[in-house]
Chains A and B, each alone.
Chain A
Amino acid sequence: MAPEALDLPQGTLDLLILKVLSLGPRHGWAISERLRQVSQASLAVPQGSLYPALHRLERRGWIAATWGASENNRRAKFYELTRAGRRQLDTEAEAWRRLAAAVASVLRMA
């Protein structure tokens, strides 16, 4: 049995969305799919909280949204990373790495 998917710690959803979008523009469902794929389903991203998060990021100007046609020719809202968003991604990713390293070293102590 696959291990239970982990709940996202607070605040990291934004980081993940920015990272996914750094690889190219996507619509909301595609983002959710990608997250599921890449984390091999070990991250439980409640799909409902995705959209409020996307709009929040849009509000802050880190991602920009445009309506376009999806792969199967339906109207969908595509998001892409802005320049400010890219800078924010770098900042937050760095912070995350440092946090993770710090926690790891504490855990390693005998």
Chain B
Amino acid sequence: MLATLLSEVRYRIRALFRRGALDRELDEELRFHLEQEAAELRRRGVPAPEAMRRARLALGGVEGIKEADRDGRGVATLDHLARDVRYAFRAMRRSPGFTLVTILTLALGIGANTAIFSVVNAVLLRPLPYPEADRLVTVSSVIGGTPNAGTAMALSYPDYEDIGKLTGTVAGVAAWSTDHYNFSNAAEPRELEAARTTAPLFPVLGVAPVIGRTFSAAEMQEPVAVISHDLWLTSFNGDSTALGRTITLDQRSFTIVGVMPAGFAFPDPGTDAWIPAGWAMNDAPEMAEVRAYRAFSTVARLAPGASLDGLRRALDLLGKRITASGEATSKFGAGESFTATLLRDQIVGDARQPLLILFGAVALVLLIACVNTANLLLARANAREREFAVRRAIGAGRPAIVRQLLVESLFLALGAALVGLLLASAGLRVIGAQLPHGYSAGIDGTVLGFTLLLAILTGLGFGIVPALRASDPALEQALRDGSSGTVGRPRRRARSILIVSEVALALVLLVSSALLVRSFVSLNAIDPGFDPAGLLAARIRLTPARYATIPQQHAFFADVVERLRTLPGVAAATVADGPPLSGGVISVAMHPREFRPDDPDQLLVVNETHVGPDFFSTMRIPIVEGRAITAEDRNGSKPVCVVDQALARELWPDQDPIGKTGLGRHGDETVVGVVANVRSEALERIGGPATYTPLAQSDRSIDEMWVMIRSDHPLRAIPALRTAVRSEDPGQPIASISTYDAIVQAQYASLRLITGLISLFAGLALVLAVIGIGGVTAYAVSRRTRELGIRIAMGARGRDLIGLLLGETVLLVALGLALGLGAAFGATRAIRSLLVGVTSTDLVTFAGAAAALGLVALLATLVPARRAARVDPVVALREE
């Protein structure tokens, strides 16, 4: 058996690669056979020429023998495939224009899909870099009774310990919270993000340090640290003697005990150090015992055999037990429940929807490209009718012709895929800059595999209909009848399908793009309530050890602002602890009992900002009534505050707020001014009611502040700002600096990206649709040249002809628009959450897009029609 197999394989290899030799051998054998046969006949007395004739007769048709021999070699299919590939090559070379257009069209579609898939792969599909990452979950708690009731919140330390006791479902759990520290090892002090974590973090994630060790549960209060690979390289030159040396965080030294491998960045891409969780609680040791202090996030690994549902059930029981115990879970009350989600889902979260939207959009573009290509192929198949009919006549079966045409289609698709890959990698370089930190989208094995699969599906998709059509036996009949015309009805049907479907698909994309553009324009036009142009903002986090007292902290900022004010080019400078859109807005819940005696328990959430003098003038927030905070509002003078219109309306709807007292932490602030509302949290909505109080009158220790300067050239002021801070205190880092324009733009960065991409795809779809409709119309018109010539000769005017040609098209375009509108109504629901200022079914936008597309589609048919109308009847009639 094995011997037979071996022999077969050897023979087939010879048959594949030494085809010529085998053919020649057979030739020689047959020649020898004929000679021997003739010789034998001559020996029996048959004269020479007659002998040869009879020998040939006896042998039979040589060609038939050769063909039978070739068929028996066991490589027939491969042989045919190889031949089909050769034909495909030749066919492509014979019509380079067609090949080029087709490949480019498809390359746009395939390339766009590849690029978006690469991003999807990088963000959504790539597994987390931890062993068995599907078993990692994160737990948050849901507190009742607060203004934020229902939203997932951080856990307290006792919560974390309770979860650790669920040994049936949880194999290990770790709690962590991150914070920023001023890192002063290096020459230039900078801000560093460190995670304060319990010891199980590293075993739960399953990652071991590359040198050294991680800390143990016994070291929760020790000044030890594990640092990131990046930090190791930049601050310690990747030296193994880094172990045992120290990093200085906020003036305190932590001994390095381990270094994590490259690429490990939990929980944030910028986390550079891990220190024991005790350091998160050393300012408030009661955090370890009191359930109401919430600061921790958790990550847990499911026990072997446990499921997420099992964990959720166990957490349910735990929540009920805590609620029943009556223990306070926040400063507002008791009651707690837990939610658990896969770590992977929590990380990916927001990105899923926009990516899927983009994926849908590029799929539509590819669909249009395929319809175009299918029609191009149909037209070409028409031109090759004769070739196929002849092939069928000499015995090629329908499958053979279909196979050949499919090979041609696959060739085109694969060629397009190559070009598409080039386009995609260029596009990815642009998109890549916009991706969140830590993700990189490139062309890797998975993406290549996807592209190959897509190319094959595309090739089969657009190739199957033309292949079936071209190999249709009815063609033979048509050929014999001598008609050179189109096989009438099927051609018209294909053209109609193309026009209707492409108009519909393009309309969906155009409507989506229009809605997004309108949203973008709305956002751009929103008045944020202050003037960001010319503003520069620097976030500074004071090292606690160096600025331990409040007077020291206030003095630092007062001095820095003073220095900045004197700089040339700086028109104004100020300081605040949570300026608009900075992400540092502090919300405070207050009971406005004094103002709402009839509703004493209702809570009001207010944004409270401590500001320095000149805040409103620097930010250019209009003062509506009263005055702003000035330098006169010092520690010791009357406590004052400024409210915004929203708060004034909330608390004193029909009264003058100026002079009202009772606000603030101590209930003793007097309102001295009212300012306009500011979009402090996000551009899309007006921020919650706000109060502004003088920084100098604050009795809270400062965590971090923003220093703002207004200048004609904010970017140029950056070095001067750094110098000012450095000369005030050389060891004090600036956490970040940005122009306010950049901060505002970052607000809608993702909307900008998506709008840009979808508009690009809509544009592509439009161009492809125009090419498709124009091409199909031109072709149809060219087929009717004779008929048109006759009509002109019989007196028809150009206008009548155009009317005739357009008439059919108008109906098709209208049908396509109707279908497209219907589809768009459904499709735009997917982008509803991204829209600002327009609904997803905005009739004006829909109508406008439909009108624009309809016009363009009609123009696309008009151009070839006009050319047809100018046909010279004599020329037309002479044509066959």
Which A positions have Cβ atoms within 8 angstroms of B?
A: 27-30, 32-33, 46-49, 51-52, 55-56, 58-62, 70, 72, 74-77, 84
* 9 cross-chain pairs, A with B, having the tightest CB-CB distances, nearest first: A61-B7, A48-B60, A59-B11, A29-B36, A52-B68, A48-B65, A52-B69, A29-B33, A52-B72
Assembly CA distance A15 to B39 (angstroms): 28
The interface centre, meaning the residue of A30, A32, A55, A60 with most chain B CB atoms within 10 A of its CB, is: A55
| Shortest Cβ distance from B64 into A: residue | A48
Please determine whether B8 and A52 come into contact, CB atoms closer than 8 angstroms.
Answer: no
Which one of B24-32, B588-596, B710-718 is at the A interface? B24-32
Assembly CA distance A72 to B3 (angstroms): 35
Complex contacts, A30 vs chain B, CB 8 Å = 36
Complex contacts, A33 vs chain B, CB 8 Å = 40
Please determine whether A59 and B25 come into contact, CB atoms closer than 8 angstroms.
Answer: no
Assembly CA distance A56 to B3 (angstroms): 15
Q: List 14 A-B pairs, Cβ < 8 Å.
A: A29-B36, A46-B60, A47-B37, A47-B59, A51-B29, A52-B72, A55-B72, A56-B72, A59-B11, A59-B72, A59-B73, A60-B4, A61-B4, A75-B32
The interface centre, meaning the residue of A27, A33, A61, A70 with most chain B CB atoms within 10 A of its CB, is: A61
Complex contacts, A56 vs chain B, CB 8 Å = 72
Which B positions have Cβ atoms within 8 angstroms of A?
A: 3-4, 6-8, 11-12, 25-26, 28-30, 32-33, 35-37, 39-40, 58-61, 64-65, 68-69, 71-74
Assembly CA distance A32 to B30 (angstroms): 12
Please determine whether B32 and A29 come into contact, CB atoms closer than 8 angstroms.
Answer: yes
Please determine whether B32 and A51 come into contact, CB atoms closer than 8 angstroms.
Answer: no
Please determine whether B69 and A55 come into contact, CB atoms closer than 8 angstroms.
Answer: yes
Assembly CA distance A52 to B94 (angstroms): 37
Assembly CA distance A52 to B255 (angstroms): 84
Please determine whether A27 and B32 come into contact, CB atoms closer than 8 angstroms.
Answer: yes
Assembly CA distance A76 to B26 (angstroms): 11
| Shortest Cβ distance from A53 into B: residue | B72
Assembly CA distance A80 to B199 (angstroms): 80
Please determine whether B4 and A74 come into contact, CB atoms closer than 8 angstroms.
Answer: no
Assembly CA distance A56 to B73 (angstroms): 7
Provided the pairs A59-B73, A60-B4, A74-B35 are in contact, do residues A51 and B11 lie with their beta carbons within 8 angstroms? no
Complex contacts, B30 vs chain A, CB 8 Å = 51
Please determine whether B61 and A77 come into contact, CB atoms closer than 8 angstroms.
Answer: no
| Shortest Cβ distance from A48 into B: residue | B60
Complex contacts, B39 vs chain A, CB 8 Å = 72
Please determine whether A70 and B33 come into contact, CB atoms closer than 8 angstroms.
Answer: no
Q: Which among B6, B25, B58, B71 is the interface contact of A77 at CB below 8 angstroms?
A: B25
Provided the pairs A33-B40, A48-B59, A48-B65 are in contact, do residues A84 and B4 lie with their beta carbons within 8 angstroms? yes
Number of A-B contacts (CB under 8 A): 73
Please determine whether A47 and B25 come into contact, CB atoms closer than 8 angstroms.
Answer: no
Assembly CA distance A62 to B3 (angstroms): 9
**Smallest CB separation, A15 vs chain B (Å):** 17
Please determine whether A47 and B33 come into contact, CB atoms closer than 8 angstroms.
Answer: yes
**Smallest CB separation, A30 vs chain B (Å):** 8
Provided the pairs A27-B32, A55-B72, A77-B25 are in contact, do residues A60 and B7 lie with their beta carbons within 8 angstroms? yes
Q: Which among A28, A48, A61 is the interface contact of B3 at CB below 8 angstroms?
A: A61
The interface centre, meaning the residue of A58, A59, A62 with most chain B CB atoms within 10 A of its CB, is: A59
Please determine whether A59 and B37 come into contact, CB atoms closer than 8 angstroms.
Answer: no
Please determine whether A49 and B68 come into contact, CB atoms closer than 8 angstroms.
Answer: yes
Assembly CA distance A60 to B26 (angstroms): 17
**Smallest CB separation, A14 vs chain B (Å):** 12
**Smallest CB separation, B557 vs chain A (Å):** 92
Please determine whether A29 and B60 come into contact, CB atoms closer than 8 angstroms.
Answer: no
| Shortest Cβ distance from A60 into B: residue | B4
Assembly CA distance A54 to B72 (angstroms): 10
Complex contacts, B32 vs chain A, CB 8 Å = 27-29, 70, 74-77
Assembly CA distance A76 to B36 (angstroms): 11
| Shortest Cβ distance from A83 into B: residue | B3
| Shortest Cβ distance from A77 into B: residue | B29
Q: Which among B40, B61, B65 is the interface contact of A52 at CB below 8 angstroms?
A: B65
Please determine whether A48 and B61 come into contact, CB atoms closer than 8 angstroms.
Answer: yes
Please determine whether A84 and B8 come into contact, CB atoms closer than 8 angstroms.
Answer: no
**Smallest CB separation, B715 vs chain A (Å):** 79
**Smallest CB separation, A56 vs chain B (Å):** 5
Q: Which among A47, A62, A72, A77 is the interface contact of B60 at CB below 8 angstroms?
A: A47
Complex contacts, B35 vs chain A, CB 8 Å = 74
Please determine whether A55 and B73 come into contact, CB atoms closer than 8 angstroms.
Answer: yes
Q: Which among A28, A32, A55, A59 is the interface contact of B8 at CB below 8 angstroms?
A: A59
**Smallest CB separation, B318 vs chain A (Å):** 73
Complex contacts, A59 vs chain B, CB 8 Å = 7-8, 11-12, 72-74
Please determine whether A51 and B69 come into contact, CB atoms closer than 8 angstroms.
Answer: yes
Complex contacts, A46 vs chain B, CB 8 Å = 60
Assembly CA distance A33 to B12 (angstroms): 29
Q: Given known contacts A55-B72, A74-B32, what 10 new A-B pairs fall within 8 Å (CB)?
A: A47-B60, A48-B61, A48-B64, A48-B68, A49-B68, A60-B8, A61-B7, A70-B36, A75-B28, A77-B28
Assembly CA distance A91 to B313 (angstroms): 70
Complex contacts, A84 vs chain B, CB 8 Å = 3-4
**Smallest CB separation, A44 vs chain B (Å):** 11
Complex contacts, B64 vs chain A, CB 8 Å = 48
Assembly CA distance A84 to B59 (angstroms): 30
Complex contacts, B28 vs chain A, CB 8 Å = 75, 77
Assembly CA distance A16 to B621 (angstroms): 107
**Smallest CB separation, A89 vs chain B (Å):** 14
Complex contacts, A28 vs chain B, CB 8 Å = 29, 32-33
| Shortest Cβ distance from B55 into A: residue | A47
| Shortest Cβ distance from B57 into A: residue | A47
Assembly CA distance A51 to B69 (angstroms): 7
Assembly CA distance A77 to B61 (angstroms): 21
| Shortest Cβ distance from A76 into B: residue | B32
**Smallest CB separation, B47 vs chain A (Å):** 20
Assembly CA distance A84 to B40 (angstroms): 33
Complex contacts, A51 vs chain B, CB 8 Å = 26, 29-30, 33, 65, 69
**Smallest CB separation, B751 vs chain A (Å):** 67
**Smallest CB separation, B259 vs chain A (Å):** 64
Complex contacts, A48 vs chain B, CB 8 Å = 59-61, 64-65, 68
